[in-house]
A and B are shown apart, each in its own frame.
Chain A
Amino acid sequence: DGGITQSPKYLFRKEGQNVTLSCEQNLNHDAMYWYRQDPGQGLRLIYYSQIVNDFQKGDIAEGYSVSREKKESFPLTVTSAQKNPTAFYLCASRPKGTDFLAGGTYEQYFGPGTRLTVT
């Protein structure tokens, strides 16, 4: 089955440690995204990547880093510089360059999420 996997589902870390969240997709999508979700704040974009070896900062990139060495993988590292890292993290993907006039779609497909708790 095609889809997006995120692991682990729950992650616990001590303050001051870096932690890497995994995101893998087998949908052959070009674009991938990382969001952070906090209660009552919806989803906020951390980083996104349109193509391998390229990525862009989103709205709240400070304290995070990413890499995109393979099309199917987009890991997110939460560094010790992130002031409030405890949150639910969601990864998403979509086909890139789909022009609506050519019958493309624009929704993003989401993984199941990773809940990170830092104490």
Chain B
Amino acid sequence: AQSVTQLDSQVPVFEEAPVELRCNYSSSVSVYLFWYVQYPNQGLQLLLKYLSGSTLVKGINGFEAEFNKSQTSFHLRKPSVHISDTAEYLCAVSALRGGTSYGKLTFGQGTILTVHP
């Protein structure tokens, strides 16, 4: 089984400041990793994903994340945030089973990012 821990439930920052949202996971098998963003009362939108290859992954809206296998982490970063980045961010993992994943996602508890002017 997999588990995901998002270490901060809320992160307040000022506009144009850098931000890091932390995500750690636990799994006995290899995993794929995802970050989703959710605006209030809306569905989830994929920000970025790590499947293989380069450990630094770039996503939409200027976000990037780095996969660290030894620390089982997949932290999300943005060098300069905007008011419009205010949302909930969810980290998720999907186990690789052989050569095909069943696609089941295990989510963290979510981090609410609030950007202040």
A residues contacting B by CB (< 8 A) are 4, 6, 9, 31, 33, 35, 40-45, 48, 50, 58, 88, 90, 92, 94, 96-101, 105-113, 115
Contact = CB atoms under 8 A, between A and B. Distances in A.
Contact of A43 (B52, B94, B107): B107
A95 to B, nearest CB: 9
Nearest to A42: B107
Contacts, number: 72
Interface of B: 4, 6, 9, 32, 34, 36, 41-46, 49, 51-52, 90, 92, 94, 96, 99-105, 107-110
Contacts of A50: 102
B9 A113 contact: no
Given A41-B109, A42-B109, A100-B52, A106 B43 contact: no
A91 B7 CA distance: 26
A107 to B, nearest CB: 5
Contacts of B99: 99-101
A111 B43 contact: yes
Contact of A106 (B4, B42, B101): B101
A100 to B, nearest CB: 6
Contacts of A58: 104
A111 B109 CA distance: 19
8 contacts: A44-B107, A50-B102, A90-B43, A92-B44, A100-B52, A105-B49, A108-B103, A112-B43
A106 B94 contact: yes
B109 A107 contact: no
Contacts of B42: 112-113
A58 B100 CA distance: 19
A113 B49 contact: no
B108 A107 contact: no
Contacts of B34: 107
B77 to A, nearest CB: 20
Contact of A113 (B4, B43, B52, B102): B43
Contact of B46 (A44, A45, A107, A112): A107
A110 B44 contact: yes
Contacts of A99: 99-100
